[in-house]
Chains A and B, each alone.
Chain A
Amino acid sequence: MIGNDIVDLALARKESNWKRNGFLDKIFTKKEQVLILNAENPEVMVWNLWSRKEAAYKIYNRKTQIRGYIPLQLECFDLEIFDGISFGKVVVQKRVYFTKTETTNQFVHTIAVENVQDFNTIKTLENRKNIKKNNGIPSCFEKDNLLAKPISISHHGRFEQIVSL
């Protein structure tokens, strides 16, 4: 299982005002808000944590087939940085997903997986060929493989990322 989410930082700056009264309280837990307010760059931390939640939600949504606006139920924890890549976990209703987040000055991109070793086999797809959506959830149908392969697509502003295992 896989989920991803990309945030175009320039567009996010235009579309959202994270300092708006109530904004943080509606989507981030108290612990996450502490991480944001203590971060060197709080704005980037907002989108870093948000993209983790979104990527993890895509796995949750695929597995449960349940939709919901549940950012507070998806909590980021165990954030660690190795070689400039930020790793972490997201818990939602006792399910734990692993996240890997790349941040540049242009974008934040998170990939979430169910098993941590899946980070070694992630493929990036160039286009939407053979991809079909069912209930809004995309899969790839290759002609010599009858099994649909889970795909995650994220598009925001100038950036699009399509990933699979």
Chain B
Amino acid sequence: MNRAQTIEKLKVIVKPYIQNQEAFDNLTESTDFITDLQINSANLVDVILDIEEAYEIVIDNQSMERMLDVKSAIEIIETKLSEK
């Protein structure tokens, strides 16, 4: 899966939780889940659990701490997939 495909798949995962449609429509790697997409911090755990399910990976606590923006999420997904 290339990066563009990973971003598209991630967009599908975060969509149910976003509260800023404009930021979502213009999503880039620098988009922040909380400050831009205005995902409720309690729903960030759902994003993380949904990513784990969609990619069949486990996101450890240390990785979760960095999971604040698209770029970090993609990096974490790619790293975990390469370790499989």
Contact = CB atoms under 8 A, between A and B. Distances in A.
Interface of A: 7, 12, 15-16, 20-23, 26-27, 50, 54, 67-73, 136, 156
Given A68-B66, A69-B41, A69-B68, 6 more contacts: A15-B43, A22-B49, A27-B45, A67-B68, A68-B65, A68-B68
Interface of B: 35, 40-46, 48-49, 52, 61, 64-68
A28 to B, nearest CB: 10
B69 to A, nearest CB: 10
Main secondary structure of the interface of B (DSSP, over half): helix
Contacts of B41: 54, 69
Nearest to B16: A15
Contacts of B64: 26, 69
A73 B62 CA distance: 10
A58 to B, nearest CB: 11
